[in-house]
């Protein structure tokens, strides 16, 4: 009878140890998953900021391109004898350059909001 009791306690001890090992493995996996999730969220926030900056640069470049095309067209007209001013073109470039800081401010706001999550 003592042998059976001893054997029972041995099986019980092995079961408890095995269960504790499984729990530790689960906790480690959960910690890795949490760390990976936090890293990915941080990378996503950085990419959003970069995307917004690039969109601002693209808008500025598009405005400059449109202004250059208008200026080329007006210069062609001047060569043919028509007198067209390029002041509206320069105004458009200045307006686009003034919008660029607004885009940066929005990206700074996005960083702030993202850091509070």
The residue ranges of the chain whose pLDDT is under 70 are 82-97, 99-117
Left (φ > 0), alpha (ψ -120 to 50) or beta: where does 107 sit? alpha
d(CA 64, CA 78): 21
d(CA 61, CA 104): 15
| 89, burial (CB in 10 Å: exposed 0-12, middle 13-18, buried 19+) | buried
d(CA 55, CA 11): 65
Angle formed by the axes of helices 87-116 and 2-79, to 10°? 170
Q: Is the pTM of this model over 0.75?
A: no
pLDDT at position 87, please? 57
pLDDT at position 99, please? 66
pLDDT at position 113, please? 60
């Amino acid at each position: 009878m003592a042998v059976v009791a001893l054997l029972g306690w041995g099986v019980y001890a092995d079961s408890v140890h095995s269960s504790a090992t499984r729990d530790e493995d689960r906790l480690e996996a959960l910690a890795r998953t949490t760390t990976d999730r936090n890293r990915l969220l941080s990378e996503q926030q950085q990419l959003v900021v970069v995307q917004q900056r690039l969109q601002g640069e693209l808008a500025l470049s598009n405005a400059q391109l449109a202004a250059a095309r208008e200026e080329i067209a007006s210069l062609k007209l001047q060569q043919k004898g028509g007198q067209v001013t390029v002041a509206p073109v320069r105004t458009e470039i200045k307006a686009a350059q003034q919008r660029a800081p607004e885009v940066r401010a929005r990206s700074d706001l996005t960083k702030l909001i993202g850091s509070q999550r």
